[in-house]
Structure 1
């Protein structure tokens, strides 16, 4: 894995414009659908910049964490804490599962063989494509579960989302937002802000677990690369937010889903070069 990390670090020094541009493209894609775009960044880290799978997940997680921290003030300006406080129980319910799921997902990831992790990531990209299409195909309904059943479903959903977010190095908004709408009948704008508040501690827990593994050194070895791509991602997300609605969802969503599926196929066929 070390050889791949060094190659990626060197590429960042030589081609910062490419790293920034790739981050900006990913951020723009995410911004146009109201997400961070980390699921699009992960295949680039592996396929274009030569990171081993686990290193790519850790770098992706670091970038996702910064993008979420950047997005929170803007979301709070749009949806004040006073509005969110009415839904604290929903956030706490999901967090009860997602924090455990994030720790477990990160622990499983660092133990996986590289070839296995590639296949798992490919399967999760397919899941993200399906979630993307489902979330935009129609307005989610509400399950109207009784209190106890709703709490159990929230913890279970939170656990699953925490696992997926940890393994992919993403914030998990693609899964959190429709889950919040479906389980708790929350308006989608508020659900978007709640998802960030759930994502942040969930990501910190996964990050803390990854920091205990020797592979975490990839961040120190690729600090410039990570900073440049994160800057591109943030800039792209802001630009994508301004373009929100310019490209019709009927065109944009199938294209993005196809990109995720193509990335999944490439990841599944990818032959690790020492990861």
Structure 2
């Protein structure tokens, strides 16, 4: 198994990276069960390693998505994006501080409800499209709203080792009225500083002591993620925004079910 670990990391990283390139996610919600179940890492180790691979996935996804969503289109959203980034970095810092202190089961219940709600909302939007321009408010109010959402998302990102795109993209769509394809690219830009902040705090608290984890897992899984992100970036030209909403909604609900199943198994054990 040890010699096959890099190969397994490469093969599991590719499909997860494809989702990242297609939708604008780091894919961490699927990677976390793989790290714990297949590679037998502890929850805390998995969170830290998950952030490291998410960083690689997000960087490659951004590069491959730029042709379909040029960064120039994001200029009107710049104040909101910067506010979400600022809030996300602050939240990631706070989340890393309390990773060891907050009850994992309590947090999982909150995330379960949140993922189910947003997932059902996105699926409903696919079948019954809503015409929404987001919250109508003066720019200072929108910035405050973005700071609040960014802080919450950043905390969840750092606590669970996810990039936060699962929450950032629906926030951009429903709160700020952003098109889903553009929201995917904006979500990556917002996630990157949050993930970097979370990684820095986890490193400061003693994570990443085993250097072989980088050569046997992070690097090959990162390479697989890059390959998958390239494929996903190509597919974005052929997948409609409505279908992306359906895919994202299903992903969120599956993630919620995985969290619920894991929670039930832990309680029974």
Q: Report the TM-score range of the alignment, normalised by the length of the smaller protein.
A: 0.7 to 0.9
Superposition deviation, residue 257 in structure 1: 4.7
Provide the C-alpha distance between the structure 2 equivalents of 1:178 and 1:250, rounded to a whole number of angstroms.
9
Superposition deviation, residue 236 in structure 1: 2.6
1:268 aligns with 2:263: yes
Superposition deviation, residue 38 in structure 1: 1.4
Equivalent in the alignment of 1:44: 34
Match of 2:3, SS?
helix
* 8 A contact 2:165–2:191 mirrored in 1: yes
Q: Which moved more, 1:149-158 or 1:55-64?
A: 149-158
- Counterpart pick for 1:174 among 161, 166, 169: 166
* 8 A contact 2:56–2:225 mirrored in 1: no
Equivalent in the alignment of 2:196: 204
Equivalent in the alignment of 1:131: 118
Superposition deviation, residue 212 in structure 1: 0.5
* 8 A contact 1:94–1:155 mirrored in 2: yes
Superposition deviation, residue 57 in structure 1: 0.4
Q: Deviations over 1:21-51 (max 9, x none)?
A: 2222323444554533211111111122111
Q: Which moved more, 1:220-229 or 1:17-26?
A: 17-26
* 8 A contact 2:21–2:65 mirrored in 1: no
- Counterpart pick for 1:94 among 84, 106, 128: 84
Equivalent in the alignment of 1:120: 107
Superposition deviation, residue 82 in structure 1: 2.5
Provide the C-alpha distance between the structure 1 equivalents of 2:245 and 2:153, rounded to a whole number of angstroms.
26
Provide the C-alpha distance between the structure 2 equivalents of 1:153 and 1:188, rounded to a whole number of angstroms.
19
Cα 1:55–1:121 change in 2 (3 A) is: farther
* 8 A contact 1:39–1:125 mirrored in 2: no
Provide the C-alpha distance between the structure 2 equivalents of 1:179 and 1:269, rounded to a whole number of angstroms.
29
Q: Deviations over 1:170-216 (max 9, x none)?
A: 22112112212333333333222222111111111111111101233
- Counterpart pick for 1:71 among 61, 64, 84: 61
Superposition deviation, residue 68 in structure 1: 0.9
Provide the C-alpha distance between the structure 1 equivalents of 2:248 and 2:181, rounded to a whole number of angstroms.
19
* 8 A contact 1:36–1:67 mirrored in 2: yes
Q: Give 1:47-62 correspondences, 5 Å limit.
A: 47-62=37-52
Provide the C-alpha distance between the structure 2 equivalents of 1:130 and 1:12, rounded to a whole number of angstroms.
40
Cα 1:27–1:80 change in 2 (3 A) is: closer
Superposition deviation, residue 157 in structure 1: 0.5
Match of 2:221, SS?
helix
Q: Deviations over 1:138-183 (max 9, x none)?
A: 1563121233432221111010111111112222112112212333
- Counterpart pick for 1:188 among 180, 203, 208: 180
Provide the C-alpha distance between the structure 2 equivalents of 1:75 and 1:251, rounded to a whole number of angstroms.
19
Provide the C-alpha distance between the structure 1 equivalents of 2:4 and 2:109, rounded to a whole number of angstroms.
29
* 8 A contact 1:118–1:270 mirrored in 2: no
Equivalent in the alignment of 2:72: 82
Gap regions ≥5 residues in structure 1: 1-10
* 8 A contact 1:119–1:267 mirrored in 2: no
* 8 A contact 2:9–2:220 mirrored in 1: yes
